[in-house]
Every structure is written in C-alpha cells, then in structure tokens.
Amino acid sequence: MRHIVGALCTLAVLTHVPTSFGLRGLREEVSSRLTTPTDAGIVIRATSKMVSAFSPLISAALKKQIPHMELGDIVSPFLHGNVNISKLRMTRFKAQDLFDCHLQDKPSQRLKVVLSGIDLDINGHLHVGSRLIQLQSSIDVWTKNVSAQLGIEFLRSNDSRMAVSVPDCVATIGKTDFRIRDAGRYTPFIPLFRKRIISDVSSGVTGRICQQAKAMVEENLKKFFDSLPILYPLSGDQNSTRPVKNDVGSALGGFLNFPGMKLTAKEREELLRQLYLNVSLVAKPEVTGNYIESMHAGEIIYAKGGQSGIRPPKLNLSTDGGDRMLYIYITDYVFNSLLLLMYRSNLVYLSFDPNTVDGFKDLLKVPCDASFCLGAAVPEFSKLYPKHKALVIYQPNRAPAVTMSSDGMQLLSDGIFALYAKFNRKMHRLFVLLVTLKVHVDLFIRDGKIHGNATINNFDTRLLKHKTRMDEDLLDILSGFTKMILQHYLNSMLANGFTVPEFGGLKLIKPKLRMISDAIVIETDTKMQEAFLRSLMGMAPSSNRRRFRVS
C-alpha cells in the first residue's frame, strides 16, 4: 500500500494538471463527488478463504496454548461451610477433535470459533470445611469432551483503532469425575458431596475456559492493534535510529528533489518526516458470511494534523468474498489528498534555470546557438537582454488530480509555463504558455514489485502572452520533444518498481494488481508467520512453558 503511494506521487509531481475546478484548488473530478462520512480512502477485506486457511494454524496454536491456561480456584458453599479446590493445574491434555472458525452475519456479525472433544486431567488441593467434615487432600479430576463456542465481535475503538470483544462464550463438559487421594475416615461421606464437587468443577472449568478465552482474545489483540500506528509515517520508522529501506520515502524524496523545488537535503528530510498516511478506522468493521471488511481514512496529512476538505469516492464493491484471501482497495483519494497538500504548500510551484536542469538543459537552453532549443524560439533574447539570465517558472492553476477506472489511471494537470529574463532583482516576462497535461498509467505487479507504463495522451500548449518575436511553430515542436522526455522520465522511474509491502506478520503470496472505478485493487493470498501468530495469541516461548502430558 505505502509503495503504491510512493510510485504515484512521484508521477503526479510531473503532471501538475486540472481542467475545471471547484473551490480552494480542487478539480471538478475531485470536488463534485457525492460522499458520506463513512466512505473510506482504503478498504481491506479478509475473506472467508483466509479464515479457513488460517484455521489449522489457529487450532494448532490453541493446542499449545490451552494446557497453559490458569484454572484458578473453585469455592462453593457446603453444609454451613464451603468446598475449596485450589492450586488447580493440568496434568494431561488431549487436544480438540474438532476446530471450526467461520464468519457469520446473522443473528449478529461475528467470527465464530468452535472447539470440541477436549479431555483434561486436573490435579488440585481439596479443602472441605463444615460442621460435619474437615477434610484436606489432593484431588484428581477428569473431564471428558470439553467443548467451547466463542463469538468474536470486531469494533472501532474510541481512538479509531480496530478492537475486538467476546460477547458470546458457551463451554460445556460431557463428563466429569474425580478421586480424593486421602479421604481417610471421611470416605463414607464422599457420596454426600460427589455431585456438588462434580457440578462445581464442571462449572468452574467451563467458566474459566470462557474467561481465559475472552482474555486471550481481547487482551492480546488489543496489544497488537494498539501497536499499529493510525498515522503511518511515509518516511519509514520514525523511532528508528538506523536508516530504513523505504520505497515510499525514496519516491517522495525523488519527488521533492524535482528541479525547481529548491529544497535542500535537510529540508526534504524534515518535510518527509512530517508526512503521514492516516489509516484510522472511519466506521465499525463489517462482517458478512464472506469477509471481514475494515474501512480506513486513507488521507495523507502533515504530522500537525489538518484535513484536505475532500472526501473519498464511494466504492460499489461486490458482496461476494472473491477467490483470494485478501483484497486491498486503495482509492484515488489517497493520491489526491497528497497532491492537494503539496499544492496548498506551494511545493508544486517550480522555478529554475533552464540551462542547468538535468535532462532538459539541451532542449530548454536560453540563449542558445543551436537551431533546435527554447532559445531559438525567442531569437531576440540575447539582443534585448544581453546581461540577463533565463528563468523558467511553472505554476499549476489547481492541484494535480488522479482519476481511476478499469482502463487504468489518469494523471491530470494544467498550469502556466513562463520564461523570464532576470538581472539582479529585475525580471522581464518574455512569454506565457498554458500547458494542459493528461497521463495514462497502467500498473501491474511483477516479481514482487509494482511497475507501470506511462503514456502522455495529451500535452497541449497554448501561447497566452509574449513581448518578443516568437517562433510559434518551433514552440510546438519543442513541446512535442518535451512530451517525449517527460514520458521517458516517467517510464524510467516506473521500470525500477516499488516493493509490495508485507502486512505485519502476513506474507503476500502471488499478489496481483488491477484497476476498478476510483480505486486500485491488490488481491493476494497470504501466509502467516508463526512468530506473528504467537504474538497475537500471547504465547510464551517454549523454554518458559510448564511441562505437561499430552495424549
């Protein structure tokens, strides 16, 4: 996700484009949309296929986790006293025969987890204190066919993060029995409280299973979700003292180093550190029988905050789950919020000496002795301004914009291109061109990287004003060559590719990229790393675990 932003923002820099506009620098393509507060810039769908694929991993993890559950103490009243079973611990564990994990939207939106066929052998200390019996002894308990059903609800927290709750948990035990090792003279009285102990042990174990399951899900996932930033730094790890390879940061850095921006390396670095992608939730996650869907803001902002004032487009997505595990929808809002931010910060206003700009200096040289350069189009420059230097200024009329469809992506911009003669503080404007640009970009994933092909479909120039004699035919020819150079520059950048990111502990398997109306879609299968699963479930390292018998 981050890397697509990087690729396209660099492209967008070179395309400073709009046609009809709304207020405050917006194009009609962006400002005329009908949206709602819950429309998202980024939508992520984890399908039922992903849930099914990870079920065996989760089941295997539970087999390792359940034996280490803390069972606590069981206390209940008995004959004017109480029965207390303490220091409970498992001595043998038979894992579940059945594990099922599936999505449901009726009667409520839940991720349902079902386990059954678990057997537990438990050892503890029994204390019966009443007027008739005073007994202390070790006790062995056997529970057969323990089952549990959990309903996990996905929520939006107060700080707009993902959160989970376990409002539904039901556990049952098929059969329970016990043996008191040192009953002594109270052996004849055991039948008096056998049913009570069986009932108390059964309810205690089932209650503890639900309590532990609820804590494991809610607490561990809360730690995980709290560890994820809702403002994602585009420049990389803000807390790291080591340089981090970051395609987005590199792409944005190249964008901010475009000729005419006049930012020093330190200024570029500082600016990059202020840019964030807002991935906070805009609504409660939606669960259907086919997928879990989270909706994120997807706006690029400064660290100090603020909003662009534009809204994401409303995506009309299918309710089918699809045949891949994970779908990531990145709307054009992500890119347009960045372009508008840059426009309002005057970062797409260019001013440079055409004789020194890399890649264009031969074409834009003023004055020049050749017959095919910008200077040749204004032949009187040397005569009228012998001590002056040429200065080129480009100023977009409105913020550049991005539109997307199933046919690809369009980068749109228009602005003013002006040539000045400058001497000390005096400047003379020689001519002004209106430049309109439209770039078509096809994106695709190859070898784990996002690549693309750019084609400039429209690069129109129209002479608005001029003070010296102009060769307009030559200007048209120069515009054509400028179009070729820009297109070559764009394709050279896209040929390098941008690495497709991994999402936490999820490795993307054979990702593909396609375009739909208003969005890019990355569809992929995934693989979960064991260390990531361990952290999600709060599992201790094996060296720190208590030994027990498994059958």
Q: Please state the φ and ψ torsions of residue 421, each to the nearest 5 degrees.
A: -105, 120
Report the pLDDT value the prediction gives residue 311, as an integer from 0 to 100.
85
For residue 243, what pLDDT band results from cuts at 50, 70 and 90? very low
Reading the block at residue 269, the tokens are 């670095």
DSSP 116-145: EEEEEEEEEEEEEESSS-EEEEEEEEEEEE
Per DSSP, 538 falls in state T
CA dist., res. 245 & res. 227, Å (int): 21
Confidence class for position 254, pLDDT limits 50, 70, 90: low
| More confident site: 239 or 75 | 75
Tell me the sheet residues that pair with 541: none
Report whether pLDDT(356) > 80: no
Provide DSSP, 414-472.
EEEEEEEEEETTEEEEEEEEEEEEEEEEEEEEETTEEEEEEEEEEEEEEEEEESS---H
Between 120-129, 293-302, 516-525, the lowest mean confidence (pLDDT) is in 120-129
What whole-number distance in Å separates Cα of residue 291 and Cα of residue 169?
Answer: 22
Q: What is the pLDDT of residue 6?
A: 45
Give the model's confidence band at 228: pLDDT under 50 very low, under 70 low, under 90 confident, else very high.
confident
Residue with tokens 């919020």: 337
- Top mean-pLDDT range of 46-50, 81-85, 231-235, 381-385: 46-50
Contact between 200 and 85 (Cβ < 8 Å): yes
More confident residue, 341 or 469: 341
- Residues 223-248 have a mean pLDDT of 68
- Supply 328's token pair: 């990531």
- Average pLDDT of 248-276? 73
164 in helix, strand or coil? strand
Average pLDDT in the 205-234 region? 85
pLDDT value of residue 236: 60
Tokens 């204390």 -> residue = 127
393 or 34, higher pLDDT: 393
Cα–Cα distance for residue pair 498/218, rounded to 1 Å = 36
More confident position, 327 or 196: 327
Looking at per-residue pLDDT, the higher value among 20 and 532 belongs to: 532
Exposed, middle or buried, 384 (CB in 10 Å: 0-12/13-18/19+)?
middle
pLDDT tens for 166-212 read 999 999 999 999 888 888 888 887 887 788 778 888 888 888 888 88
Q: Residue 47: pLDDT above 90?
A: yes
Tell me how far apart the alpha carbons of residues 520 and 197 are, in angstroms, rounded to a whole number. 61
What confidence score (pLDDT) does residue 454 get? 92
Q: pLDDT-based confidence at 519, cuts 50/70/90?
A: very high
pLDDT exceeds cutoff 90 at 271: no
How many CB atoms sit inside 10 A of residue 495's CB? 10
Quick one: pLDDT band at residue 10, thresholds 50, 70, 90?
A: very low
Compute the distance between CA of residue 378 and CA of residue 466 in angstroms, rounded to an integer. 10
In the numeric block, which tokens belong to residue 173?
């035990």
Cα 14 from Cα 357, distance rounded (Å): 14
**Confidence at residue 24, expressed as pLDDT on a 0 to 100 scale:** 61
d(CA 328, CA 326): 7
Omega of the bond leading into 188 within 30 degrees of 0 (cis): no
DSSP code, position 10: H
Question: What distance in Å separates the CA atoms of residue 348 and residue 357, rounded to the nearest whole number?
Answer: 16
Query: From the centroid of its chain, how far is CA 404?
Result: 20
CB distance 2 to 234 below 8 Å:
yes
Kindly report the number of other CB atoms within 10 A of residue 266's CB atom: 8
CA distance 365 to 375: 6
Q: Closest by alpha carbon to 151, among 185, 186, 183, 110?
A: 110
Q: Are 427 and 467 in contact (CB under 8 A)?
A: no
Percentage of residues in the chain having pLDDT higher than 70: 83
Residue 335 predicted with pLDDT over 50: yes
Token look-up 């890019």 returns 520
Share of the chain above pLDDT 90, in %: 25
Range among 103-107, 196-200, 378-382 rated most confident: 103-107
Over 60: is that where the pLDDT of 377 sits? yes
For 285-307, the pLDDT digits (tens) are: 999 999 999 999 999 998 876 66
Query: Which pLDDT belongs to residue 2?
Result: 44
In the chain, the domains with their CATH numbers are 5-41+245-278+297-499 (3.15.20), 53-225 (3.15.10.10)
Q: How confident is the model at residue 502 (pLDDT cuts 50, 70, 90)?
A: low
Most confident of the ranges 33-42, 388-397, 526-535: 388-397
The CA distance from 137 to 125, in Å, is 6
User: What number of other Cβ atoms are within 10 A of residue 188's Cβ?
Assistant: 8
Distance CA 432, CA 393 (A): 10
Which of the residue ranges 294-303, 464-473, 515-524 would you say has the lowest mean pLDDT?
A: 464-473
What average pLDDT does the segment 278-283 reach?
Answer: 93
The angle that helices 48-65 and 530-537 make with each other, rounded to 10 degrees, is 70
